[in-house]
Structure 1
Amino acid sequence: MPRPRTIAIGAFAVLLAATPFIPRGGGDEGALRPSGKQQYAALPGEATGYGPLTADLRAEVDRVVAQGRTLGRITGKTTTDALVRGLVRCADFQGQTYCLHSGWTESSPATVQARMAVAARTIAARPAGGSTTGDLDVLATLDRAAALSPSARAVAERQELTQAARSVAKVWLLRHEIEGVPLPAGFLAQHPEARADAPVAAKGASSSPSPSKSPSPTASPSPSKPQPKTQKDYPARRVILDTKQTAEQTRTYWCGPTSMQMITWGWKGVDKGQAYWADQLNTTSGGTAISDMVRVVNNSTGWDRKDHAGPYVVLDIGDWTFNQWMLLTMRHIVDYHAPLVLHPILLKKYYPYLDDDASGHFQVGRGYDKKGDKPTLISYFEPWNQQRFDPSEPYINRVQWRTAYKSYRANKAHFQHNIGV
């Protein structure tokens, strides 16, 4: 498929300027600081809220945006490698790395840029045509950003970085509770949005039970020393979302709008249709970016509330084991009661219902089944129905139950290996 940089640039610039990127939850800006006489705990499985844009976070946003301003207006003569170096810049938000157009990662900025450059060159060398379902590939992503004026690009980058900065506590807790990464000193004092609702008594304070009440023999452990959940702590099977609230994509490049249609339908109980969400997502014939998927979930649903998943983030799971990925899935479905934005590549070896290998893709994660001694299954809503576009190909059902390990491998096979959670 040809990818001229001029396709829909004017429309995209208008949409970008009109689209709110800053997430809701601004009430945390005025959160009180602890007095020093209280200790706080983040309970296992509990979501965070939006954090304030503190001075250090704002300074890092400013630094990365200022780097981009030195690029000036990008011309069509700019090489792919130069585009990657100039546009895929990374921020260090309190010890966690966020890269523009890629998301939160544990890789170094140089590694992320190298991966993006290889993927972009591969796509550029690929013959026109092929089966695409609507994931905005890296070359189209770079072209879209490069076509913006320097001021419009700075606005877009600031919005993306600000949303990421206000979500850093969630990233830290996911790394801590699933990967075992220690939290930095003073983390819970610095991040009120990550604390459990009730404060824990300071060290040395009396912990004796009230004279009128006896301690329960089944009481939970003190929240000051929460025990991270394991897969054994979750039920054997759990699903969310109504299987009647599904749809198949009506254009070959609308897997993003269709996934968003189902995600928002599940929250609002109202179907606004794919065209509406294509507009909200800035979808072009090249597809939809995962950063836009996360932005719209945060701005258009309540799945990002603290009593659900908290602010959705684009998270690199390239270094995660299958068990870690499965634990995150269970956490999302059971503790958050919220869907995942799956981001695989559609290959026949992972999805036997496909008639042909296809492109990067979006699906809506909505359940799992441990299946005892058999391989664990994952359930998702599949927007792609190849038969709609080629009647000779097999029909694909919207509600899928498939081997979870293959879904994990399909997500890692995508060059970005990230998801929206």
Structure 2
Amino acid sequence: MSRPRPRTLAIGALALLLAAAPFVPHGGDEDGSLLPSGEQQAGALVPAATAPLGRVTPELQSEIDRVLANGGSAARVPVSATPDRLAASLVRCADFDGQRYCLHSGWTESSESEVQARVATAARAIAARPAGTTTTGDLDELATLRRLARMSPSAREAEERAELVQAARSVAKVWLLRHEIEGVDVPADFLAAHPEARATASTQQAVAAQPTAAAQAQPAARSKASASSSPTASPSATATANTSTTSSRPKRFKDYPQRDTVMNTKRVAEQQRTYWCGPTTMQMITWGWKKKDLGQSHWAGKLGTTSSGTAITDMVRVINGNTGWDREDRAGAYIVLDIGDYGFKKWQRLLMRHITDYRAPVVLHPILLKKYYPYLDDDASGHFQAGRGYDRRGAKSNLVGYFEPWNQQRFDPSEPYISRVQWRSAYKSYRANEAHFQHNIGV
């Protein structure tokens, strides 16, 4: 069972602690959002829609040190140890300001023992996988555990410290997403502890220029604007959508455009090696920001990709360090988020928020199975895709848009060709992400 989190006890407590007008926390309405009172003015201490990386406070540093100290026994775990023993030693979790982060897995609401058990179960399944199973480049858990076990204690500690520091600095983003998507109340002293999550005066002033829901809902105009928009647009231009938490009321499904996209469909590529879905997805995501193609081998080096594949934690790390998608007027700090407890509706809201409010892509992390992706000739492994759009079609099934790096025909000419630009069932995409043993994504 997850450890309890701090909760807002009263709206007035925030005003007392921050000496500013209170905001109204989410109640029972699933479509709720962090909101200021009607009397708040631009410049007041109110939460933004997202947050960039913050600082490592002494409390956060103490937790990092605790988790690293508990990893001492991992130095004595041989590579040949059972998946259960490897997972128990190498998968450890930190409590950062009431949110749980597990090494090599990301932010989760599962307990440490639950995550360890899930990792061990997945590793056993991978060990028993039939020879010849198609793999596309997702670093599986058995390979992850064995790689860590082979590392020297000092090298492993350095890698884990870097991962934990990145996580600790992104906890404000986690709180804001949990609140907006899951309805979790934030701590009363949240903005005092995390000033990086405060809305700036310029972002609040931009709310006045925000288009109405009716104007946003015109898909043709919005799609055209999306295709031509520059990823380096000024904050005032992009902040209008990124301040939904400071608008006059919570955003609901009807407030979003019927269809929306990011990234140019001409900036796509198919993976050149069977284990390069990570570098190719990164190639397309960074190409969408930089408008310059640096090639897959460049990103394979940045990601630390091997023939075993790429870790999702490295995908998030490289986006934060090499693009502007993580700017505070975009998505803020990218995180690895466990969506195992998400229903389909929450998953859709998360995608819409990222595409429309953040104007930024999502790192999808599904398992490639034919029942979810009919263009496949064979079932395959865990995988990465660049999520870049959605289409809510009313009575018809909703769609999700993404760039698909995998083209099976490249490696077996007898198999059907797979196009880079895909619009597929949103529900099946959700199920494919949930079916992956990690059921996490990069947002």
Please tell me the TM-score bracket, short chain as reference: 0.7 to 0.9
Contact 1:253 1:285 in 2 (8 A): yes
Q: Does 2:182 align with 1:179? A: yes
Deviation at 1:229, TM superposition (A): 2.0
Query: What is aligned with 2:169?
Result: 166
Deviation at 1:49, TM superposition (A): 1.5
Deviation at 1:126, TM superposition (A): 1.9
Contact 2:173 2:197 in 1 (8 A): yes
Deviation at 1:396, TM superposition (A): 0.4
Contact 2:244 2:251 in 1 (8 A): no
Query: What is aligned with 1:111?
Result: 114
Of the candidates 250, 257, 261, which is equivalent to residue 272 of structure 2?
250
Letter in 2 for 1:69: G
Residues 256 and 175 (structure 1), Cα distance of their counterparts in 2 relative to 1, 3 Å cut: same
Deviation at 1:227, TM superposition (A): 3.6
Query: What is aligned with 1:328?
Result: 350
Query: What is aligned with 1:377?
Result: 399
Letter in 1 for 2:20: Q
Contact 1:73 1:150 in 2 (8 A): no
**Distance in structure 1 (CA, Å) of the matches to 2:262 and 2:79:** 46
**Distance in structure 2 (CA, Å) of the matches to 1:302 and 1:237:** 24
**Distance in structure 1 (CA, Å) of the matches to 2:114 and 2:287:** 38
Point out the structure with the larger helix share.
Answer: 2
Letter in 2 for 1:309: A
Letter in 1 for 2:392: K
Contact 1:341 1:420 in 2 (8 A): yes
**Distance in structure 1 (CA, Å) of the matches to 2:247 and 2:327:** 25
Q: Does 2:209 align with 1:193? A: no
Q: Does 2:312 align with 1:312? A: no
Determine helix, strand or coil for the equivalent of 1:407: helix
Deviation at 1:70, TM superposition (A): 3.4
**Distance in structure 2 (CA, Å) of the matches to 1:144 and 1:226:** 50
Give runs of aligned pairs for residues 221-240 of structure 1, distance below 5 A: 227-240=249-262
Residues 265 and 122 (structure 1), Cα distance of their counterparts in 2 relative to 1, 3 Å cut: same
Q: Does 2:20 align with 1:38? A: yes
Query: What is aligned with 2:33?
Result: none
Q: Which runs of 5+ in 1 are unaligned?
A: 1-33, 200-217
Q: Which runs of 5+ in 2 are unaligned?
A: 1-15, 22-44, 203-211, 213-239
Residues 76 and 145 (structure 1), Cα distance of their counterparts in 2 relative to 1, 3 Å cut: closer
Query: What is aligned with 1:344?
Result: 366
Letter in 1 for 2:411: F
Query: What is aligned with 2:69?
Result: 66
Contact 1:304 1:310 in 2 (8 A): yes
Q: State, as a whole percentage, how many aligned pairs show the same letter.
A: 67
Letter in 1 for 2:260: R
Deviation at 1:77, TM superposition (A): 3.9
Contact 2:50 2:177 in 1 (8 A): no
Deviation at 1:93, TM superposition (A): 0.5
Contact 1:74 1:147 in 2 (8 A): no
Contact 1:245 1:262 in 2 (8 A): yes
> How many pairs align?
368
Letter in 2 for 1:92: D
Deviation at 1:52, TM superposition (A): 1.0
Q: Does 2:39 align with 1:57? A: no
CA deviations 1:43-77 (Å, max 9, x no partner) are 4xx22121110011000000001111233243234
Deviation at 1:307, TM superposition (A): 0.8
Give runs of aligned pairs for residues 257-268 of structure 1, distance below 5 A: 257-268=279-290
**Distance in structure 2 (CA, Å) of the matches to 1:262 and 1:359:** 21
Residues 173 and 35 (structure 1), Cα distance of their counterparts in 2 relative to 1, 3 Å cut: closer
Deviation at 1:341, TM superposition (A): 0.2
Determine helix, strand or coil for the equivalent of 1:70: helix
**Distance in structure 2 (CA, Å) of the matches to 1:285 and 1:225:** 47
Deviation at 1:324, TM superposition (A): 0.6
Deviation at 1:235, TM superposition (A): 0.7
Deviation at 1:128, TM superposition (A): 2.5
TM-score norm. by structure 1 comes to 0.84
Query: What is aligned with 2:433?
Result: 411
Residues 290 and 85 (structure 1), Cα distance of their counterparts in 2 relative to 1, 3 Å cut: same
Residues 327 and 35 (structure 1), Cα distance of their counterparts in 2 relative to 1, 3 Å cut: closer
190-199 vs 235-244, which moves further? 190-199
**Distance in structure 1 (CA, Å) of the matches to 2:161 and 2:58:** 15
Query: What is aligned with 2:388?
Result: 366
Residues 147 and 226 (structure 1), Cα distance of their counterparts in 2 relative to 1, 3 Å cut: farther
**Distance in structure 1 (CA, Å) of the matches to 2:327 and 2:85:** 39
